Amino acid sequence: MTAVPLRRPSSRGGRRPARSRDALAGYGFLAPNLLLMAVFLFVPIAWAIQLSFQETRGFGTPEWVGFDNYARMAADPVFWQSLGNTVLFTAVTVPLELLGGLGLAVLLNSVLPARGVFRTIIVLPLVISGVASGMIAVILFYESNGLINKLLAAVGLSPIGWQSDGASAMVSVMVAAVWLRIGFNMMIYVAGLQSVSPDLYEAARIDGATAFQQFRSVTVPLVGPSTFFLLIMNVIASFQVFDLIFVMTGGGPGYSTSVLGTYAYRNGFQIREQGYGAALGVVILVVTLVFTYVQWRTSRTRDLVE
């Protein structure tokens, strides 16, 4: 799958014109895409790196300040808090998405009435926008007389300060994020499970393996490639979380749900510290490229497996 079948000319002689015509056609087919990507991806990437070494508030000529923005970042407690929140958010949501997705996949891969309906419902949040999900979550988690607090009161618990208490606010965005992504995890795991031969379970049963032993010794190892793929995808998605947090908490209360994405936006467009905002963007960019590289290495092996 990785080896690109480059068509080699069968004979060396007399193919030059065809080859250069091929080259022309190749670049021609790519040109519009490359042009758009150059203008709206590559130029902004280069410009972002340049801006990260400048001081600019959106007006006037930017000033070169060397590594000042990065030095400022290192000394900025809100940056470290946002980074910490991003890591915490990722560390909590990703395992929940993986475990929940695998559990649901195993459940909905077994023989069940209305299995298709259950699957469809659980996958449905995939097509709901982050903004609409965030709005629904705002209403559910509303502190004064929101449904969740009313349900808590109904079972005799005290209401939770989803908007006023930092830790609770973080929990609310984590819950919304898991809701939004668990169906994707289930879907990938279902595809992975369908390639597992039923004979393996039959064999394990004959050996006297309990359901849990079958799960641990047959299912978990065999969905390993799916798990790795999902791990990387979930980590990237969680690391880049923006819509949900922006809509639900705006990074607050204080900075207790501020993440790298929202903090970069705040600097770039709310308080107009654009050089600093660009530097924060460069950090996100570097982290993303590292994850993408890991994903690329693993997807090569995944392709080989398939």
Partner 1 sequence: MTAPTLVQSAAVAAPPTTGARPSRRRRRGSTAGLVLRTAVAAIAAAVVFFPLYWMLVVAFSPRGEAFEPGLRLWPSALTLDNFARAFERYPVGEWFVNSVVIGAFITVVTVTLNLMAGYAFARIAFPGRNVLFLVALATLMIPVQAIMVAQFRVVTGLQIYGTYWSVILPGAATAFGIFLARQFILAIPQELVEAARIDGAGHVRVFLRIVLPLSRPLIAVLTLLTLLGSWNDFAWPLIALKDNALFTLPIGLLYMKGQTTPDYSGIMALALLSVLPMVVLFLVFQRYFVQGFARSGIR
Contacts with partner 1 in 93-152 (CB under 8 A)? 104, 107-108, 110-115, 117-118, 120-133, 135-140, 142, 144-147, 150-151
Count of residues touching partner 1 (by CB under 8 A): 121
Is residue 288 involved in binding partner 1 (CB under 8 A)?
yes
Which uninterrupted H or E stretch holds 133?
helix 130-140
Is residue 242 involved in binding partner 1 (CB under 8 A)?
yes
CA distances from 31 to 19, 23, 36, 47 (A): 18, 12, 9, 22
Sign of CA dihedral 244, 76, 293, 100: negative
Annotate 79-93 with DSSP letters as a single string: HHHHHHHHHHHHHHH
Q: 3-class SS at 97? A: helix
Residues of this chain, 31-90, that bind partner 1 according to CB under 8 A: 32-34, 36-37, 39-41, 43-48, 50-51
DSSP state of 278: H
Among 166, 168, 236, 252, binds partner 1 (CB under 8 A): 236
Among 22, 64, 157, 216, binds partner 1 (CB under 8 A): 22
Rounded distance between C-alpha atoms, residue 241 and residue 262, angstroms: 8
Is residue 16 involved in binding partner 1 (CB under 8 A)?
no
Nearest CB to partner 1, comparing residues 78 and 136: 136
Sign of CA dihedral 293, 241, 167, 78: positive
Q: Minimal CA–CA distance to 193: which of 159, 229, 161, 221?
A: 221
Rounded distance between C-alpha atoms, residue 240 and residue 246, angstroms: 12
Phi, psi of 223 (to 5 degrees): -95, 15
Place of tokens 């000394």: 75
Is residue 157 involved in binding partner 1 (CB under 8 A)?
no
Residues of this chain, 251-270, that bind partner 1 according to CB under 8 A: 260-261, 264-265, 268-269
Q: Minimum distance between the CB of residue 256 and partner 1, rounded to whole angstroms?
A: 19
Nearest CB to partner 1, comparing residues 170 and 260: 260
Residues of this chain, 167-226, that bind partner 1 according to CB under 8 A: 179, 181-184, 187-188, 191, 196-197, 199-200, 203-208, 217-218, 221-222, 224
Is residue 23 involved in binding partner 1 (CB under 8 A)?
yes
Nearest CB to partner 1, comparing residues 170 and 204: 204
